């Protein structure tokens, strides 16, 4: 019988994200004639309502935007900064060690993870406001309407949110998330049942305080968060509970605008955000892998996994040794991306040498992402997070503040040590791929240490193996962010045995879809095709 013919009209614009309510919000803005950045903002504000431990206006993040009508292509850095009161020796005497999974550091009382002293200056809202000023078409206030509606009417706890609520990170010497949900009276009322347990799958959450906060932002702009009514609430709570964040920290915050790092791969240009974001890891791995015929090795074959895993370890080690906040530590990017460096690393892999990566500093897996393309060809990709959520909900505001002080090394003298105004390296790497001057792919992921390696595999799946975006994001992945190789449960056991025979310590994940949550859109010949990682709850939405 003949193959069925496609009946759906091609999409003129598209958005993909891990939360259904957020996808709806962004798609509605695209239908209303908004730009890709407008859609991104409506989506992101809604994400902060329905994934309250993943992201929100109290968090931080990175945005990549390309506007073909003006030729502008930039990274907007909304990473948080250490408060001025955060001196290098703040917790030096209280240092207990590193978290076993590499994410963050342990100090006495976990005060760098939970509570007011764990909070860095939130940067994402300032970055969103800057993005709107430069690339927005619709009024700022209109972009809050979907999030306000969801916060007012309520939203059901979905599978992924229920899993986050129930997360217990005690094995990694971090606190169970229920401790953060019940830290404040507001959190207890919002996210716990009367019996003290977290709300479960299908429970409805309404957040009128957050609706009011979002309405204030819609009316008064982002300034209300940094110098106005909302800032006053944040600082009053900080002062009452001995926090580090000050009014001056908020008032003095400004997002950065950077140019992307651009490298060539298989005849195309891959654009990633520079430090302190994590694009350097993606770029270095691709530079190494271009020296191999990956398709000839076979997708997820033992030799393919060996080659890619070694490239992951090499790039991870190089990042740990060389990358920090560029204001405090100048990264040797030219060397790290040079042909000589990539040739040397590829030669070591061909000789069968094993790189050593005993640890990797990472981000929390509780992050979120989104990508959007509008009818005029503007492309935007953003990843934003609360890092390790602090549990702090300033009274009456409805939103949680980040706990990103956990990212900083309490020991002075290290690349990631505490310093006033310092931005910590992040693995977030929203990416755009170009063919000539034309964007053909946007891709991003939440997922902590796995962000770069997951984005990398998504890119390779499309460019080397010809997969669609949906095929690329749901294909089985693996990870090497330490000396171990972690594999998803859909990689055959025969492959695992072959890797063990090569001398690798292989850890099989019980998850069907493991290692970050990749979302993206391809734009080959102007045809938009989206993909959403099945482990999350979202989907790609096309707009005709």
Residue 127 has a CB neighbour count (10 Å cut-off) of: 27
Rounded to 10 deg, the angle between the 208-220 and 36-50 helix axes is 150
d(CA 325, CA 320): 12
User: Under a CB-based contact definition with an 8 Å cutoff, are residues 118 and 388 in contact?
Assistant: yes
State the DSSP string of 251-303. Answer: HT---EEEPPEEEEETTEEEEEPPTTSSHHHHHHHHHHHTTS-HHHH-TT-HH
Question: Please, is 333 exposed, middle or buried when counting C-beta atoms within 10 Å of its C-beta (0-12, 13-18, 19+)?
Answer: middle
Q: Which two tokens stand for residue 395?
A: 């009274």
Task: Classify the phi-psi angles of 59: left when phi > 0, otherwise alpha if psi is within -120 to 50, otherwise beta.
Answer: beta
The beta-strand segments (E) located in 299-377 are 367-373
Q: Which two tokens stand for residue 233?
A: 């609430």
Token pair 């109290």 is at which residue?
58
User: Under a CB-based contact definition with an 8 Å cutoff, are residues 118 and 58 in contact?
Assistant: no
User: Under a CB-based contact definition with an 8 Å cutoff, are residues 323 and 275 in contact?
Assistant: yes
d(CA 43, CA 384): 12
d(CA 110, CA 294): 44
**Which is catalytic among the residues 46, 198, 367, 431?**
367
Backbone angles phi, psi at 452, to 5 degrees: -60, -45
Q: Tell me if residue 311 falls in helix, strand or coil.
A: helix
Distances (CA, A) of 16 to 23, 143, 161, 351, 375: 6, 17, 18, 41, 15
Q: What sections of 443-512 are H helices per DSSP?
A: 451-463, 469-474, 493-501
User: Under a CB-based contact definition with an 8 Å cutoff, are residues 80 and 402 in contact?
Assistant: yes
State the DSSP string of 25-39. Answer: HHHHHHHTT--HHHH
Annotated catalytic, 367?
yes
d(CA 16, CA 25): 11
Backbone angles phi, psi at 103, to 5 degrees: -85, 100
Task: Identify how many contiguous H helices and E strands the chain contains and give both numbers.
Answer: 19, 20
d(CA 201, CA 383): 25
Q: Which residues are catalytic?
A: 367
């Amino acid at each position: 019988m003949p193959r069925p013919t496609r009946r759906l009209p091609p999409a003129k614009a598209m958005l993909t994200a891990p939360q259904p309510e957020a996808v709806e919000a962004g798609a509605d803005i695209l239908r209303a004639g908004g730009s890709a950045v407008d859609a991104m903002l409506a989506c992101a504000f809604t994400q902060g309502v329905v994934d309250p431990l993943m992201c929100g206006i109290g968090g931080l993040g990175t945005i990549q935007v390309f506007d073909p009508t003006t030729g502008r292509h930039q990274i907007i850095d909304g990473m948080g900064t250490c408060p001025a009161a955060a001196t290098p020796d703040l917790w030096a005497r209280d240092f207990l060690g590193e978290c076993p999974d590499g994410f963050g550091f342990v100090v006495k009382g976990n005060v760098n993870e939970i509570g007011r002293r764990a909070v860095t200056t939130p940067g994402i809202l300032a970055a969103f406001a800057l993005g709107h000023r430069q690339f927005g078409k619709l009024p700022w206030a209109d972009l809050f309407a979907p999030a306000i509606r969801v916060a007012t009417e309520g939203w059901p706890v979905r599978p992924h949110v229920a899993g986050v609520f129930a997360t217990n990170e005690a094995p990694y010497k971090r606190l169970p998330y229920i401790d953060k949900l019940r830290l404040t009276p507001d959190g207890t009322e919002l996210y716990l049942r009367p019996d003290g347990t977290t709300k479960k799958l299908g429970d409805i959450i309404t957040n009128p305080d957050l609706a009011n906060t979002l309405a204030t932002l819609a009316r008064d702009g982002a300034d209300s968060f940094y110098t106005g009514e909302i800032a006053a609430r944040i600082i009053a709570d900080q002062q009452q509970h001995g926090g580090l964040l000050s009014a001056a920290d908020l008032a003095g915050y400004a997002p950065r605008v950077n140019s992307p790092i651009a490298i060539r791969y298989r005849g195309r240009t891959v654009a990633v955000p520079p430090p302190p974001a994590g694009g350097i890891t993606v770029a270095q791995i691709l530079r190494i892998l271009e020296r191999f015929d990956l398709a000839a090795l076979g997708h997820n074959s033992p030799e393919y996994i060996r080659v890619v895993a070694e490239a992951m370890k090499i790039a991870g080690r190089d990042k740990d040794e060389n990358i920090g906040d560029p204001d405090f530590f100048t990264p040797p990017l030219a060397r790290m991306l040079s042909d000589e460096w990539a040739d040397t690393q590829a030669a070591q892999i061909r000789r069968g040498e094993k790189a050593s990566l005993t640890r990797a500093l990472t981000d929390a897996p509780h992050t979120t992402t989104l990508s959007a393309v509008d009818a005029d060809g503007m492309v935007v990709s953003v990843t934003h997070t609360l890092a390790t959520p602090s549990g702090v909900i300033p009274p009456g505001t409805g939103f949680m503040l980040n706990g990103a002080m956990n990212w900083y090394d309490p020991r002075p003298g290290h690349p990631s040590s505490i310093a006033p105004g310092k931005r910590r390296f992040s693995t977030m790497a929203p990416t755009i791929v170009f063919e000539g001057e034309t964007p053909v792919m946007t891709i991003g992921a939440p997922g902590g240490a796995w962000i770069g390696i997951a984005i990398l595999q998504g890119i390779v799946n499309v460019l080397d193996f010809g997969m669609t975006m949906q095929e690329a994001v749901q294909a089985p992945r693996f990870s090497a962010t330490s000396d171990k190789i972690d594999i998803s449960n859909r990689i055959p056991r025969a492959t695992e045995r072959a890797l063990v025979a090569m001398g690798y310590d292989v850890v099989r994940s019980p998850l069907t879809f493991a290692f970050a949550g990749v979302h993206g859109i391809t734009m080959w010949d102007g045809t938009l095709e989206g993909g959403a990682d099945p482990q999350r709850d979202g989907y790609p939405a096309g707009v005709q």
